[in-house]
Structures are given as structure tokens and as C-alpha cells.
Amino acid sequence: MERYFVRPETVDRIRRSWIADAIEQYVKWLDEQHYDERCVLRRVPILVRFGDFARGRGARKVAALPRHVDAFVQAWTSTRADRVTEARLAKASQEIRGPIEQMLRVVVPGSVGSRSGRQLLDPFTKEAPGFFRYLREERGLTETTVAHHAHYLRAFEQYLARIKIRRLRDLTPVVLSAFVVDRASLLGKCGMRDQCGSIRIFLRYLYRERRIRRDLSDAVEQPRSYRHSSIPRSVTWDEVRRVLAAVDRRSTTGRRDYAILLLLVTYGLRAREVAALTLDDVDWKRERLRVPERKAGHSTAYPLSTIVGNALIEYLQRGRPKTVDRRIFFRVLAPHLPITHSAVSCRATHYLRKAGVLVSRAGSHTLRHTCAQRLVDADFSLKEIGDYLGHRSADSTRVYTKVAVETLRKVALGDGEAIV
């Protein structure tokens, strides 16, 4: 504690707290996770106040602390409600709650706190307890697909709770139609297709298990979605240069993000593939980049571009945290965990918007499509483009025929007799 607090009386005051041992354990954990010193200085006083508050409400053991968190946050916000806006108050209350619940997760076994909402429970666990086991075991769906079904069914569960339908046996075609209309204002065409598909699967399962009296799946009409009805959302190479120029490579974040953007646009990698890269995937001696476990179930080896290699070296030497983990890309802020695929896509979105590049659904796939567009413009065959991008089938690559501008122009200018 003396390492962070200069004044001895401050350290003594902290150690007089009845939860001093828990605070010391938490500070040690923060240090191991490489949290900034300012973070420790800001959080410890909050924890001391929380300990005093819980003690005043009868807490005598650390294990009893979780039940006093809500009351402490409410008491804290009530004294400031008339001084700040509602939005700032909500943000500040989370800044108070966050350190307390994080400490409790470290020192109290099994404590999860309100942030456990990130680990959402499967919907309809009481009414249809075997549904997700059915998806995994009988249908053999991947965890990613199961999570998508859970996401859409969670929205359905919340809707039923909102309109006060507590039993699945009370479902009717009218209720299902009303739900579809309600979701249509929030989702696009593909989102509605997936939403309706999940509901139809769920309803067929309920009927099979006799949880509902009749099969209602036909009451949910799935909107038509035509393959290749849209064109890839690529950007021009001049816009790519603007995006790369928008990265401040003087910072750790900038060096990491610059390498990520180059991987996305040079090799057309997916966000998941970038996030999963490890130090073992870069063969510096042979100048090769290996991308294992692609979506199609195979791996791909690319020549390591000099520009990409230099960007990786710059990040590895002057940005990547010291860790035994073999992943390449990590969070900049503590805890220094491997970056997720969502973060990769968010960083791509950030720089596209920062550079003023206007594109629908900006994200990592924008740069993947841009890579494909470059290959199309260079007259590579669809087979070569599909192999380069790691497509599972030729159908996935066929959409790029719609952006082969020069080829389409020749077709349009022809007399039609030669086109067979």
C-alpha cells in the first residue's frame, strides 16, 4: 500500500478499515493486471467508504458485502442527484459500483455482481429447459450459432414479459405477429430473417415437446432474403490511405491499430482471424503469415508483406504488453487481455469514421471487401479470390462479379450475340 500512498497516515487509515485485507488483496491483483497507479488511488478510497457503510448496516464478514452494494450506490447517488444531469449521474454511479464489484469478484468466491449481465443466461430456461441442449446435441450447432439463437429468443422472452404473457401455452398467432411487427422497427432485413428463423425453430421444438398445443411456426412468416441482392461495401484505395493516415502511430493504441488495419485490408482477414493470431503464426525466417482455423475449416499461408511485417514489429517492440500469452494483439488498458473480434471491428469502424469515409455498416468487413475489390480490379479469377479470402464455397465469392466494373462495361457495350 505504501507504494501507492505517500502519506503514512493515509495508509494507516486504510489499514484501520475492517476490510483492509480484502482491499490489500484487490490492490495486489490490480498491480498484477498492470492497472495504472491513478486507478488504484481513485478506487481505494471508494472501497474504504463502502466498508464503513456496510459495517454500519450490520456487515461483519467480507462474504456479506455483496448484498450492500446496491444500497451504497443508491445512497451515494442520492446525495448528488440535484447537482448533475441524469446521464452523468448514471455514469458516475457505475464508476462507483464497478470497483466495488470487481473487488468482490476477486476476494469473494462466486461473486459476480450486476456486470454478470455480460454472461447472459439462456432464455426460457424454466419453460423449455432442454431447448439449447437440443440445439447443441441433436442439431450439432456451433456455440456461435447457439449464441445467436439465444440473442433473438432473449428479445422474444422480454417481449412476452412486457405484455404479461407468463406461459408459453398462451401463445397465439396474434401475439407472434405483434412481436414480429414490434421487432421490424429495430432490425434490418437480414436481422428480421434471423429473428423469425429462431422463433420458428423454437416453436417447432415446443410443439414436439408438447409445451404448446399446436405447431405455431407457420404463423411466423420469414421475410425473403435474396442472395447477392446487395453489393459488397468496399471503399476506394484513396480512402484506405486516408484511414491509415488517421491512425496516430506515436501511441501504443495507434501502433496496434495500424497493424490490425493493414492485416484487414492487405489479406482480407476476418475480425476473428485477426484477433486469433499468435506469435507462432508469423514465420519471420520464411517471411510467411499463417492464418489457421479459418471459417471454411482450413488454414492459409500468405507471403508476409514488408509493410505489414514492419507494422507488426513496431507494435511487438513498442506496444505489446509483456505476457506469456502467445496472442499478438492485446488491450491497451488493464487488464491486458487478448483483444476480441468485436474490438477489432470497432477499431476499424472508428478509423473509417475518423477519416470521414462514408460507408453503410462500417467495420472490419469493409476492409475485407476492399481487399477483394482490389483483386477483382487486378483481373484475378473468382477461384483465386475465393482462395485468398478463405471462402468456403464459390457462392461466397460470386457476389464480387457485381463489382467487376470493367467486365460489366464490356458486357453492356457488346451486341449481345457473343454473350452465352
- Active-site positions? 270, 295, 365, 368, 391, 400
DSSP state of 135: I
Cα gap 124→345, rounded to integer Å: 31
Is there a contact between 168 and 206 (Cβ–Cβ < 8 Å)?
yes
Cα gap 380→354, rounded to integer Å: 32
Cα gap 153→176, rounded to integer Å: 12
DSSP output for 341-399 = HHHHHHHHHHHHHHTT---TT-SHHHHHHHHHHHHHHTT--HHHHHHHHT-SSHHHHHG
DSSP output for 77-134 = HHTTTTTS-HHHHHHHHHHHHHHHHHHHHHHSTT---GGGGGSPPPTTTTTSTTHHHI
DSSP 3-state of 300: strand
Cα gap 268→369, rounded to integer Å: 7
Is there a contact between 303 and 286 (Cβ–Cβ < 8 Å)?
no
- Residue 260 parent element (H or E): helix 252-267
Dihedrals φ, ψ of 290, to 5°? -105, 135
